[in-house]
């Protein structure tokens, strides 16, 4: 499927998120919810939880297809920030009306606190789990294939973001050169020559 079609499909997820946010704004302005409103919110929340995996699969395909993946990563970050914020608000509204959201009493408030603390730690791409290096050997992830069939390649070019962290790289493989995000690459472990029996300590 071409990139233009994928982006059009992604727009429907954004529209659903916007509608859910507007719906929540209306409920959040109410001091107390009726039993009918509570029931409807629980149903909407349950349905809305299911769309993230569909969005994630579509967005991953867009990132793999795009020639400028950095723009797509920013789009993912914006969507996730709004999505998880809406989820947290929905649970908070239920908790404020003493309505447990599936787990036991008070779970909405507990979820909200846990979500906020987790959000502070999980800013996407705010820190790296390692650095890509020029000349490094990597495997290029491809969910359509088993790991033992992923392409092996060498990093030939890095593309740092505004914070100086390289999140995108060009990979030279036997099938050509591909531009991939860091989360689509598996750097191969390299044994440190200094870390050998009888050698100097690392």
74 and 116 co-located in one domain: yes
- Same domain? 117 vs 177: no
Residue-level pLDDT at 124 = 47
Whether residues 31 and 95 share a domain: the answer is yes
Q: How confident is the model at residue 202 (pLDDT cuts 50, 70, 90)?
A: very low
pLDDT one-digit tens code per residue, 157-190: 988 777 777 778 899 998 888 888 888 888 887 6
Per the structure, the count of domains in the chain is 2
- Residue 113: domain span: 3-121
Is 193 inside a domain boundary?
A: no
The residue ranking higher by pLDDT, 199 or 68, is 68
Q: Which pTM was predicted?
A: 0.49
pLDDT, tens only, 146-162: 877 888 999 999 887 77
Cα(158)–Cα(134) distance, integer angstroms: 7
Residues 149 and 117 in one domain: no
For residues 117 and 146, membership in a common domain is answered with no
Same domain? 33 vs 109: yes
Q: Kindly state whether residues 109 and 145 are assigned to the same domain.
A: no
Instruction: Using the predicted structure, report yes or no on whether residue 143 has a pLDDT greater than 50.
Output: yes
Q: 57-66: per-residue pLDDT in tens?
A: 888 888 888 8
Statement to judge: residues 78 and 165 lie in one domain: no
């Amino acid at each position: 499927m071409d990139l233009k079609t994928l982006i059009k499909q992604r727009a429907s997820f954004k529209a659903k998120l916007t509608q859910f946010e507007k719906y929540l704004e209306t409920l959040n302005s109410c001091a107390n919810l009726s039993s009918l409103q509570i029931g409807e919110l629980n149903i909407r929340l349950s349905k809305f939880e299911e769309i993230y995996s569909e969005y994630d699969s579509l967005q991953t395909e867009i990132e793999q297809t795009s020639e400028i993946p950095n723009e797509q990563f920013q789009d993912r970050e914006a969507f996730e920030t709004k999505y998880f914020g809406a989820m947290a608000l929905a649970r908070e509204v239920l908790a404020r009306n003493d309505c447990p959201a599936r787990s036991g009493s008070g779970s909405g408030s507990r979820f909200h606190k846990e979500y906020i603390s987790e959000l502070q730690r999980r800013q996407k791409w705010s820190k790296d789990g390692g650095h890509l290096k020029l000349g490094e050997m990597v495997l290029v992830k491809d969910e359509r294939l088993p790991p033992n069939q992923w392409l092996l390649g060498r990093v030939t070019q890095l593309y740092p973001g505004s914070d100086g962290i390289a999140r995108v790289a060009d990979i030279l493989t036997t099938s050509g050169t591909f531009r991939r995000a860091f989360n689509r690459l598996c750097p191969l472990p390299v044994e440190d020559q200094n870390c050998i029996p009888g050698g100097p300590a690392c």
